[in-house]
């Protein structure tokens, strides 16, 4: 990772208190992505970690998982697959509904997005409680892909989201707060 350290990347992430609601300290990665040298360092770090993994598809979670996810897919020579909120994908989709603190949410993936023999990297910008990533894994299970790795740029370790993800997966978080 050229001369930029993980500490530099961590420092470039802005904290926004009480967004989107009171009590949440939002980790805003737009301040990291807008700096060319940080964006390159993030891309280089992910590339180095996954270069020899044989990944054929990077699956990014809407919408912040699309940014580094698609850069990484291109560098790895892999395809990029979006997981989106309901009604956004134009083709036939599989949907998975999951519980939130209040109410529920649904995510979707195109039915023809993956093949059983794909080597998949599930990517999102941040791991908080793990609810979103767990739901995304349920969608991946429909395709019976056996080779799945998981990546986040940031992990909020105090929320213990990692515990909700099975330890059968290789989970790489670049930065932990
Ligand atoms: P969770 O399902 O709780 O793991 O939340 C992860 C998703 O919500 C990711 O897509 C994040 O972009 C977003 N998110 C949750 N909490 C935060 C936070 N404190 N700062 C930034 N993004 C967050």
Does the beta carbon of 73 lie inside 6 Å of ligand 1? Answer: no
pLDDT at 1 exceeding the cut of 80: no
Determine what percent of the chain is predicted with pLDDT higher than 70. 99
Count of CA atoms in the C-beta half-sphere (13 A) of 40: 7
pLDDT tens digits, residue range 26-45?
Answer: 999 999 999 999 999 999 99
Mean pLDDT across 73-91: 98
8 Cα to the center of ligand 1, angstroms: 21
- Smallest CA-to-CA distance from 62 within 129, 132, 13 is with 132
pLDDT for 101: 75
Average pLDDT over residues 153-172: 96
Selecting among 7, 64, 75, 155, the annotated active-site residue is 64
User: Per-residue b/e over 71-89, b at no fewer than 16 CB within 10 Å?
Assistant: bbbeebebbbbbbbeeeeb
Q: Which of 14, 37, 101, 155 is catalytic?
A: 101
Structural domains of the chain ordered from first start:
54-176 (3.40.50.2020)
The confidence score (pLDDT) of residue 104 equals: 93
What does the alpha-carbon distance between residue 78 and residue 55 come to, in Å, rounded to a whole number? Answer: 6
Are residues 121 and 101 in contact, defined by beta-carbon separation less than 8 angstroms?
no
User: What would the pLDDT profile of 135-151 be if each residue is shown by its tens digit?
Assistant: 999 999 999 999 999 99
Closest CA to 84 of 131, 141, 132, 19: 132
Judged against a pLDDT cut of 80, whether residue 122 lies above it is answered with: yes
Q: How far is the CA of 76 from the centre of ligand 1 (A)?
A: 25
Confidence of residue 2 (pLDDT cuts 50, 70, 90): low
Asked whether the predicted pLDDT for residue 75 surpasses 70, the reply is yes
pTM: 0.97
CA 122 to ligand 1 centroid distance, Å: 15
Given this model, what pLDDT does residue 128 score? 96
Is 75 a known active-site residue? no
Indicate whether residue 155 lines ligand 1 (CB < 6 A).
no
Ligand 1 touching residue 27 (CB < 6 A): yes
- pLDDT of 163 strictly over 60: yes
Q: Does 101 participate in catalysis according to the annotation?
A: yes
């Amino acid at each position: 990772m050229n001369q930029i350290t993980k500490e530099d990347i961590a420092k470039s992430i802005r904290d926004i208190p009480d967004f989107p609601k009171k009590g949440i300290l939002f980790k805003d990665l737009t301040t990291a992505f807008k700096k060319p040298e940080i964006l390159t360092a993030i891309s280089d770090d992910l590339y180095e970690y996954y270069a020899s993994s044989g990944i054929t598809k990077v699956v990014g979670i809407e919408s912040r998982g699309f940014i580094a996810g698609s850069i990484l897919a291109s560098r790895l020579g892999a395809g990029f697959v979006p997981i989106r909120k309901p009604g956004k994908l134009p083709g036939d989709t599989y949907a998975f509904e999951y519980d939130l603190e209040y109410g529920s949410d649904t995510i979707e993936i195109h039915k023809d997005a993956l093949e059983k023999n794909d080597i998949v990297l599930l990517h999102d910008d941040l791991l908080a409680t793990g609810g979103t990533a767990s739901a995304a894994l349920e969608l991946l299970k429909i395709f019976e892909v056996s080779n799945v790795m998981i990546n986040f740029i940031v992990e909020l370790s105090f929320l213990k989201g990692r515990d909700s993800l099975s330890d059968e997966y290789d989970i790489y978080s670049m930065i932990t707060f």
